[in-house]
Amino acid sequence: MSHTTLVGERVLAAEGARPAQVRIDGDLIGSVTALDDVQGHGPDVEVLPPGSVVVPGFIDIHVHGGGGHDMAASPDSMRAAVDFHRAHGTTSGLVSLVTAPVEQLCRQLGWAADLAEAGLVAGAHLEGPFLSHVRCGAQNPAHLKLPDTDAFSRMYDAARGHLRMITIAPELPGALPLVEQAVAAGVVVAVGHTDATYTEAEAAYVRGATVATHLFNGMRPVHHREPGPVLASLDAGARCEVINDGIHVHPAVLREVLARGADRLVLVTDAIDATGVGDGSYELGGQQVTVSDGAARLDSGSLAGSTLTMDRAVRRAVKDGIPLEQAVAAAARNPAAAVGLDGVGAIAPGARADLVVLDAQLRVTRVMRGGQWIS
């Protein structure tokens, strides 16, 4: 078994960011030892440059593409998008599939299952097709369906045990039995792309939903007499995805979610293929998307995913005044908990050795996954 020992002046482990030595045995973290200072180690110990911050690898549970690669386009494209986000510190997470015909989703779920079985992702997230026409955002309305337990079963089978999460609009007829079916099958149910009232959204949480898909975006807005799915999600103690790109939500939204509990906030990218490529014309789920100044929109003006990466989401959160520890937890520990991933999301003995080394400005300098540095 290979051994690596890293020493850094700011290692973000259980006790917060402090000097520590991290020993890596094979693909796991063997030990984390707090240090008084980082000097005077043997030649087999690598001391990271001053100012470095070592954080757990990020976990993105909502992402559609990046680096010019659309995850829904082909198996190679799905893999290439995962690799693109890896370089930005995402060492685990889900593959998110936008609404499409069920047969097509089944095929894409098969590709995601291949990646999951190769250990490259933790599974798939179905964002559709059981979503609201009224709040469909960039989901292609031509392929939205009413909740259908047979269609769900077909997709569940196609994912070969790797369907981790499904976003459902709970107000649709038949939605609540589908929530129960998915939860019973071990699939995390997220409430999203929904025009539900507070009471309708609450009913989904009572039946076992636990996540809110990009809180505020793609849902009925808060009104003081009908606070809708947003307050229902916060009141239910849901893990709340937030797209923190400076476009989708105001920073006050992050503070509000955190005020409900430090473990509630889940940073996601919802990134599309344009991420890391630049402004221009792209396609998402068969619809034309224009990216301008980093904002991806349909012709209707509706936001169509983002061009965010997890490292930028964390940097922005810290710039917005969120403590580093909370921002990193929202990018690692909380998403792991949201979709039930064990052994990732923390720098702790026994966890997979997934680490991101950031510089003092919180830019990614190196990424380790399963004990291996990514080139």
Q: Given the residues 60, 195, 245, 270, select the one marked as catalytic.
A: 270
Residue least distant from Zn ion (Cβ) = 270
- To the question of whether residue 218 is assigned a binding role by annotation, the answer is yes
User: Judged by CB, which is closer to Zn ion: 127, or 273?
Assistant: 127
* Closer Cβ to Zn ion, 63 or 102, answer by number: 63
Cβ 96 to Zn ion shortest distance, Å: 5
At its nearest, how many Å lie between Zn ion and the CB of residue 3?
Answer: 40
**Closest CB to Zn ion among 79 and 248?**
248
Quick one: 29 or 97, whose CB is closer to Zn ion?
A: 97
Whether residue 138 is annotated as binding a ligand: the answer is: yes
Measured CA to CA in angstroms, residue 264 lies from 120, 203, 228, 278, 332 at distances of: 26, 19, 18, 32, 12
Q: Please check if 127 is assigned to a binding site.
A: yes
Rounded to a whole number of angstroms, the minimum distance from the CB of residue 372 to Zn ion is 29
Q: At its nearest, how many Å lie between Zn ion and the CB of residue 301?
A: 17
Least distance between Zn ion and beta carbon 167 (Å): 8
Q: Which residues form the interface with Zn ion (CB under 5 A)? A: 127, 270
225 carries a ligand binding annotation: yes
Any catalytic annotation for residue 270? yes
Task: Kindly tell me which of 253 and 284 has the beta carbon lying closer to Zn ion.
Answer: 284
Least CB distance from residue 12 to Zn ion, whole Å?
28
Which is closer to Zn ion, CB of 85 or CB of 352? 85
CA 242 to CA 236: how far, in whole Å?
Answer: 16
**b/e sequence 134-144, b meaning 16+ C-beta within 10 Å:** ebbbbbbeebb
Catalytic residues: 270
Bind-site residues for Zn(2+) = 127, 193, 214
Binding site for substrate: residue ranges?
A: 138, 217-218, 225, 248, 303-305
